[in-house]
A and B are shown apart, each in its own frame.
Chain A
Amino acid sequence: MDISIVSLIATLIVAATPILLAATGELIVEKAGVLNLGVEGMMIVGAISGFIAAVNTSSPFMGFVMAAVAGAILSYLFAILTQVLLANQVASGLALTLFGLGLAALMGNSYSGVKPPSTPKMEWFGLADIPVVGPILFNHDLMVYFSIFLVFAVWVFLKFTRGGLILRAVGENHDAAHALGYKVVRIRVLAILFGGACAGLGGAYLSLIRVPQWTEGMTAGAGWIALAIVVFASWKPWRLVLGAYLFGGVTILQLNLQASGVDIPVSYLSMAPYLVTILVLVIMSADRTRASLNAPASLGKIFHASS
């Protein structure tokens, strides 16, 4: 087998970044006690919004900004539904996904086949030329490094800041937090907006860098994978990186196995990432003590001040 490990790792980092971005946002949302299943919808709306913005302004940076904004706006609909109108979170998240998929397809109708402006790779003063470590660590575009930075920022926020503490409190016991005077609804809405923005960025990464092109349905389940990774990570930020890279790795590996002539039927190789996700989910959930210590206790429950 003729697989270049270095190249493989570099590619899997790129493959994992959109999922990592979306999962990081969803982590915050779930830590606040809300289960937003609409990640797929927000990602794809981010993908097309970022694409349209980048094509029309010839700036990939504007693309990412607009993607985050669009993701946030879409998630705001979810926020209103679940926090103000007290709708069921599972159904609302699904509605968001279906609506988002359709909306993105509609918006992107005339953008099929269009070429977006390319995002430059970061120049680290020639560090990329170091053998082995160079291409893996230093030859990526800005968003890859930003995704790692985002995980770091979220980790710091949750662990060391007062805001993070309040967020976690709201997620663990929203009634107690409310009794203490914290504005549960507002905090949750902000968390949801953040989650939407991150998902939008993840989607834009797909359409602007990874493929890079726009197609209807291009997220192909990435949003659902992001949700699974949050569980896999036991709601701990650094574990997200592990989960995302694992999933990205399996995806890339199966393609490379094929290209190098290994004789496993394609369909079964393609199943691998999803089966691995299930396996990991089971393992993480089976350890009831550990899992239950980390899942926010109020996850998915509806909060209403008067009830």
Chain B
Amino acid sequence: MIRLELRTDPSRAMVALTPLLAVLATMIVGGLLFATMGKNPFEAIRMIFWDPLFGEFAFYYRGQILIKAAPLIMIALGLSFGFRAGIWNIGAEGQFIMGAVIGGATGLALYPLDSFIVFPLMIVMGAFGGFVWGMIPAFLKIKFNANEILVSLMLVYVAINFLSGMVTGVLRNPEGFNFPESRSFQNFPAANNAELWAGTGIHWGVLMTLGLVIAAYLMLTRHIFGFNIRLAGQAPRAAKFAGVSPNKMIAICLGLSGALAGMAGLFEVTGPAGKLSTTFPVGYGFTAIIVAFLGRLHPVGILLAGLLLAVTYVGGDIIQSKLSLPKASIQVFQGMLLFFLLAVDVLVNFRIRFAKRGRA
């Protein structure tokens, strides 16, 4: 009989080891999945994990990995603070969209002004847009005790419809033959978030993300706020006695994660996506949740987890065109990753003991 025995202290070795175990388990089960679909599992796994980094066309893919990873990491960093404190922002996708809409609209309103101030202003407005969208569930939770999970989630659908309304109406490109999309930022140099060095995939969002990782790390480990967050998550009552105001915590966490998600949205819409359209939302807000957990809610872990998930995205495209595997296989993969991580997580706090039957 397998029994779980509480450890005296959480195992530090396991904290670092469990993500790797989870990835390994996913590779094995994923491989089996591909085998049942009639594909060579080793080839498929290789195409997902190896080719994007070291394969034939890796010089192109590596840049794509950075492009895909930046928004995931940026959003996940914001989410991680809230998650540590038990504040569940599930509506990052909506905040991502609103950041893109508000920030993008600012830029479009200034078109065709060619000034260096345009882009920074858009970034600020993008963060603001996400911040506002994140503060709605915060406000409703503080004032009315409404569950932030459900409110933030409903707001995702509201945001998607809002985007749709904007691009078919006010923000529609007047020279675009009535198609439901905004003016392209690629043709608007002051607002274009282009690659800084061609082929590397590094745009301003990538640089900002790197900076944020460092900032988040410092905040978590050195700043009183980081301490309060960790305290609130692990010992809520102690936190209260220490004077941490739960309402303030809710507001800051949701506001912060909203702002970061909004900023990520702005970088994405002015960079890789190129314009606002009805197909802009692709689910980064939800995938970022996986990234946050996979990275153990720690900035460095999130950095690595974001890169890993970006690799699976790019690899997923490869297996789609080379092996004719459906797009959904990668979604299953990513879901499995989270599943296995949560499953092996138990090893951090508990030890597995094989007890003999018939104890007294």
Direct contact of A and B (CB under 8 A): yes
| Chain A interface residues toward B at CB < 8 A | 37, 77, 80-81, 84-88, 90-92, 94-96, 98-106, 109, 216, 221, 224, 227-228, 231, 265-268, 270-271, 274-275, 277-278, 281-282, 285-286, 288, 291, 304, 306-307
Is the CB of B96 closer than 8 A to any CB of chain A? Answer: no
Contact call B147/A285, Cβ cutoff below 8 A: yes
The segment from B62-70, B101-109, B161-169 found at the interface with A is B161-169
- Asked whether, in the complex, the Cβ of B158 is within 8 Å of the Cβ of A275, the reply is yes
Q: Which residues of B from 138 to 164 have beta carbons under 8 Å from A?
A: 140, 143-147, 149-151, 153-155, 157-158, 161-162, 164
Within 8 A of A (CB), among B265-317: 286, 289-290, 293
Q: Which residues of A contact B194 (CB under 8 A)?
A: none
B10 at the interface (CB under 8 A from A): no
Please tell me if the beta carbons of B339 and A268 are within 8 angstroms of each other in the complex. Answer: no
Which residues of the other chain, A, contact B326 by a CB distance below 8 angstroms?
Answer: 105-106, 109
Contacts of B333 in A (CB 8 A): 102
Chain A binding site: helix, strand, loop or mixed by DSSP? helix
Chain A: CB-nearest residue to B143: A286
A sample of 7 inter-chain contacts (CB < 8 A) reads: A99-B335, A228-B154, A231-B147, A271-B161, A278-B154, A282-B140, A286-B143
Q: Is B186 close to A, CB under 8 A?
A: no
Q: Enumerate chain A residues within 8 angstroms of B168, measured Cβ to Cβ.
A: 265, 267
The dominant DSSP class at the B interface is helix
Cα-based distance from A8 to B346 in the complex (angstroms)? 50
Contact of A105 with B144 at beta-carbon distance under 8 Å, contacts A88-B342, A267-B168, A281-B151 already known: no
A268 and B161 form a contact (CB under 8 A): yes
Question: Chain B's nearest CB lies how many Å from the CB of A206?
Answer: 17
Task: Contacts A274-B158, A285-B147 known; list 19 others, CB within 8 Å.
Answer: A37-B149, A80-B343, A86-B346, A86-B349, A91-B293, A94-B289, A95-B335, A96-B335, A102-B335, A105-B332, A106-B332, A224-B153, A228-B154, A265-B165, A266-B164, A267-B168, A278-B140, A282-B146, A306-B5
In the assembled complex, which residues on chain A have CB atoms less than 8 Å from the CB atom of B147?
Answer: 231, 281, 285
Closest chain B residue, CB of each to CB of A229 = B150
The 8 Å CB contact of A101, one of B6, B150, B329, B331, is: B331
Within the assembled complex, what's the spacing in Å between the Cα atoms of A85 and B150?
A: 25
Total number of residue pairs linking A and B with CB closer than 8 Å: 147
Residues of A within 8 A of B339 (CB): 77, 81, 92, 95-96, 99
Q: Which residue of B lies closest to A102 (CB)?
A: B331
Report chain B residues within 8 Å CB of A103. 328, 332, 335
Interface residues of B (CB under 8 A from A): 4-6, 88, 90, 140, 143-147, 149-151, 153-155, 157-158, 161-162, 164-165, 168-169, 286, 289-290, 293, 326-336, 338-339, 342-343, 345-346, 349-350
Contact of A228 with B158 at beta-carbon distance under 8 Å, contacts A90-B88, A102-B330 already known: no
Q: Which residue of B lies closest to A269 (CB)?
A: B161
Question: Which of chain A's residues has its CB closest to B328's CB?
Answer: A105
**Most chain B CB atoms below 10 A, which of A95, A109, A275, A291:** A95
Given contacts A105-B328, A221-B157, contact A286 B165 (CB under 8 A): no
Which residue of the partner chain, among A87, A94, A216, A282, contacts B144 with CB atoms under 8 Å? Answer: A282
Contacting residue for B342 out of A92, A224, A268, A288, CB 8 A: A92
From A81, A100, A275, give the contact of B335 (CB < 8 A): A100
Decide: A105 and B150 in contact? CB cutoff 8 A: no
- How many whole Å from A287's CB to the nearest CB in chain B? 9
B residues near A285, Cβ cutoff 8 Å: 144-147
Q: Which of B329, B330, B342 interacts with A81 by CB under 8 Å?
A: B342
- Is the Cβ of A86 less than 8 Å from the Cβ of B4? yes
Nearest 9 pairs between A and B by C-beta?
Answer: A99-B335, A102-B331, A267-B165, A105-B328, A102-B332, A95-B338, A286-B144, A98-B335, A87-B342
* Chain A residues in 8 Å Cβ range of B290: 94-95, 98
**Contact among B6, B164, B169, B342 with A91 in the assembled complex (CB-CB below 8 Å):** B342
Q: What is the bound-complex CA distance between A291 and B144, given in angstroms?
A: 11
Whether A105 contacts B327 in the complex (CB less than 8 A), given A88-B342, A278-B155, comes out as yes
